Structure 1
Amino acid sequence: MNPIIENLTGMNALSDQVVAMDLLIAAKRGVRNYAMAVTEAGTPEIKEMLTHHLVEALDMHEQISAYMVEKGWYHVWDTNEQITLDLNNIDTALNLPTL
């Protein structure tokens, strides 16, 4: 989207939120995949390497989650607040002007 239009509509912050959520989802997927791979490792060396990567993926997930919580984009412990935020984002997306 055009940066001028983003600023006029307030979409610049929402765009950042969408990118952060995509990154968080990818990090969760990475954690899940590494955890499954550790259980399938054929040798202790491979298991150790995958475990190291799993720990790094968990750290990345924690950093992204903390960033999103700090920005008010992710309400881990308040489901009602997260639902409200999601519904507001849906309304914003549905009310975007068509170009």
Structure 2
Amino acid sequence: MEQNTLAWHETLELHELTAFKSIGLMKTKMGLNQIHDHHLKNIYQQTIQELEADLGELAKFYPYTPKPGNSNEYRIDNGFYAGDLLAFSKTAVRNYAIAITETASDVLREVLRNQLDTAITCHERIYNYMYRNEMYPSYNLNQLLQSDINMVKKALSM
């Protein structure tokens, strides 16, 4: 690494990936005991191993981000569920945007546009909830990054 720190834009992408993968790992681990099909269970276990490895690699870049401050330990509570809905709604917005560019039918495109607007509204609603309840410190990069590290530790320890 040439620089002592990551650039702001890559730090934010690192945050997005780390948060998304941490929540995904927690959900995958929580669902593992509910699966009775042997083949599907093996797929889940492989996915867990891959997510753990990915998070371990991503966490190594956090010392190169702006210096995080302290924050509370991440818990599986409203913050977890709100973060999961935020990630889901963000992914929905991206998926609709991609689907619209692949649509040849005017009728389907209009339906997708309407559903994209709904997905954007959903994202706005959950983001505002999280921001107001101090679950997503968008304007405090140090807190945001420390929260990521706490989520990685929690997900890996489950």
TM-score higher than 0.5: yes
Give the corresponding residue for 2:146.
84
Pick from 98, 104, 108 the counterpart of residue 42 of structure 1.
104
Distance (whole Å) between structure 2 residues aligned to residue 80 and residue 67 of structure 1: 20
In the other structure, the counterpart of 1:4 is none
- 2:98 is the counterpart of 1:67: no
AA in 2 matched with 1:82: L
The runs of at least 4 aligned residues of structure 1 exceeding 3 Å deviation read 85-91
Q: Which has the higher contact order (CA 8 A, sep 6+)?
A: 2
Q: State the TM-score, normalized to the length of structure 1.
A: 0.71
TM-score (norm 2): 0.47
Between the two proteins, what is the percent identity of the paired residues? 31
Instruction: List per-residue Cα deviations over 1:2-60 (Å, max 9, x = no partner).
Output: xxxxxxxxx9x741111110111111111111000111111111111100000100000
Partner Cα separation in structure 2 for residue 45 and residue 88 of structure 1: 45
Unaligned runs of 5+ in 2: 1-72
The structure in which a higher percent of residues are helix is: 1
